[in-house]
Structure 1
Amino acid sequence: MTSGGLGRIEAGGVAVLDTPYPDAGAVIEATGSLDALAEAKVVRRIPLDGDAGTGLPAPIARPRAVWGIGMNYHSKAELTGRPVPDEPVLYLAAPSSVCGPGAAVRLPAGQTAEMDYEAEIAVVIGRTLDHAAEDDAWSAVAAVTAANDMTCRDIMKRTGWPVLAKSFPGFTPLGASLLGRDEITRPDAIGVRSWVRGESRQDSSSADMIFPIPELLARISRYAVLHPGDVVLTGTPAGTGQDRGDFLRPGDTVRVEIDGVLPLTIRVRA
């Protein structure tokens, strides 16, 4: 999605499309996928600059719901010495926390000293899932994108509520583009990486997940119905600020890359 409408990433730029849909979320909620955009007429082309994707809005600007999971990578469990969970540790974040690439995310001054980053694969639901079987769950995915599931670790410990630690304005950056499900040949091998201040921090893939994406979606659907346009954040590998004892501060940049998706970069401001 661009500031001028929906677009496809092609030939090193964005092909802006003639479509009745205001954003990608509307396409997915109406049709269940991004297929409706495949044959849309191109009205103009916009080149992508060196920091591809910066300045594009979040492709799903206001999800119906934002689900997340704690401790879903073996590397994270091993590093912390915590046992591998038998059930996913699930939570919701406020949809108002969503922002797009290039955003300046405010550090909640006076409330936290432990603002953290979490590179994650975000799954966008395309078809309703209600008590779904694991074998059926992947077919209900519309697309994936990059996410930075930002968290105030000290607020989490103090309140015991992930929703409070993760729902500050801009704390759920999404983007910069969507990768349709049919373009993903190996959902069990999607790369996820992060950089902070230009330094590599996380480098893993969905192969290391404790609850793979289809199983995770099926398990959530046992307790709550997942609707088209919902976003599910699938967990973060080892290498967060919590793991390193090095939290975010004003002026920091965080870059997240998911295979097949334009990079997602945000800046922390005072």
Structure 2
Amino acid sequence: MTTERGIGRVVGDEVELLDTPFGDLGALIGATGSLDVLDDCAVLERCSLDSLQLLAPLGRPGALWGVGLNYRSKAAHAGREAPAEPLIYLAAPSAVLSPGGEVAVPADATEQLDYEAEIAVVIGRRLHRAQPADVWDAVAGLTAANDMTARDVMRRTATPVLAKSFPGCNPLGSSLCSPDEFTDPDAIQVRSWVNGELRQDDTSAGMIFDIPDLVSRISWFAALEPGDVVLTGTPAGTGQDLGRFLAPGDRIQIEVGPVLPLVTTVGTPTG
């Protein structure tokens, strides 16, 4: 994880602050391609998790890729056929928000702000025209994402990048786990809660295009570089599905496998 005091390793309820020259995990991955170098770093200090301010683990990532309608549960709820090709878009990296942060969009921007629990894949090694079998070896880690979307902006503009790029509308974190920390990287659990109510509960086994396939397909058209992030879609249970959009004061919690929970609060709309 990345904290205001540097890079740390989670051990139970504590964090080991590590002696590393890198300011965040994004810089480390850009230089080394993986999290492995942290295994040899000396521990500077141990402290409680709740005593630290957590930052977006990568700082500001490189490219921020996303995919629409990539869970069978979401397609079934919408009454739509599974797409033959992934529906790919880019969002602005300036939308990234730190764990525990508050997001507040302009009052006149949207009346239908929505949450989307997603597995975020962090690229560690350059991928271009890669086969699916090559993908996991090039992944530095995975984390949780809340790919928030202004649904009314999406309908009005038909442009995902505009509906998903308001500052703070793409929280990432709280921690970054390497693929081998997941019991089954082909069936990673992803869940969301809003104000303590479970809204989404699925696994990556429910994806239409699984993680290796999705990343491979993107790489055939664009080179993926270290520090790029691929958001892998969201299952059924979003506010769009339930007709219940976010309001000021709402607290969203996203959980992805062993990654620390990602919590975001909706603030009062800005002027």
The residue identity in structure 1 corresponding to 2:23 is: P
CA distance in 2, matches of 1:142, 1:184: 13
CA distance in 1, matches of 2:195, 2:240: 16
In the other structure, the counterpart of 2:115 is 117
In the other structure, the counterpart of 2:194 is 196
Of 150, 157, 160, 1:159 maps to 157
Of 134, 137, 140, 1:139 maps to 137
> Runs of 5+ in structure 1 lacking a partner?
none
Preserved CA contact (<8 Å) 1:107 1:249: no
SS in 2 for 1:163: helix
CA distance in 2, matches of 1:107, 1:195: 21
Query: Please, what is the CA RMSD of the aligned residues?
Result: 1.1
SS in 1 for 2:22: coil
CA distance in 1, matches of 2:242, 2:92: 27
* 2:175 maps to 1:177: yes
> Runs of 5+ in structure 2 lacking a partner?
none
Deviations 1:213-234 (A, max 9, x none): 0000000001110000000000
CA distance in 2, matches of 1:256, 1:69: 18
Preserved CA contact (<8 Å) 2:64 2:230: yes
Of 214, 224, 236, 1:226 maps to 224
CA distance in 1, matches of 2:132, 2:253: 32
SS in 2 for 1:26: helix
In the other structure, the counterpart of 1:262 is 260
- Mapping for residues 207-246 of structure 1, pairs under 5 Å: 207-246=205-244
More moved, 185-194 vs 61-70: 185-194
Preserved CA contact (<8 Å) 2:182 2:257: no
In the other structure, the counterpart of 1:47 is 48
TM-score, length of structure 1 as denominator length:
0.97
Preserved CA contact (<8 Å) 1:191 1:206: yes
In the other structure, the counterpart of 1:3 is 4
CA distance in 2, matches of 1:17, 1:35: 13
Preserved CA contact (<8 Å) 1:15 1:44: yes
The number of residue pairs the alignment matches comes to: 267
Preserved CA contact (<8 Å) 1:150 1:166: yes
The residue identity in structure 2 corresponding to 1:7 is: G
Preserved CA contact (<8 Å) 1:146 1:258: yes
Deviation at 1:184, TM superposition (A): 2.7
In the other structure, the counterpart of 1:35 is 36
Preserved CA contact (<8 Å) 1:72 1:236: yes
Preserved CA contact (<8 Å) 2:105 2:167: no
Deviation at 1:60, TM superposition (A): 1.1
CA distance in 2, matches of 1:184, 1:125: 16
Deviations 1:9-38 (A, max 9, x none): 013211000101111011111111000011
The residue identity in structure 2 corresponding to 1:37 is: L
TM-score, length of structure 2 as denominator length:
0.96
* 2:15 maps to 1:17: no
Deviation at 1:48, TM superposition (A): 1.9
Deviation at 1:45, TM superposition (A): 1.2
CA distance in 2, matches of 1:39, 1:102: 29
Deviations 1:198-242 (A, max 9, x none): 110000110100000000000000111000000000000000000
Deviation at 1:2, TM superposition (A): 1.1
In the other structure, the counterpart of 2:75 is 77
The residue identity in structure 1 corresponding to 2:207 is: M
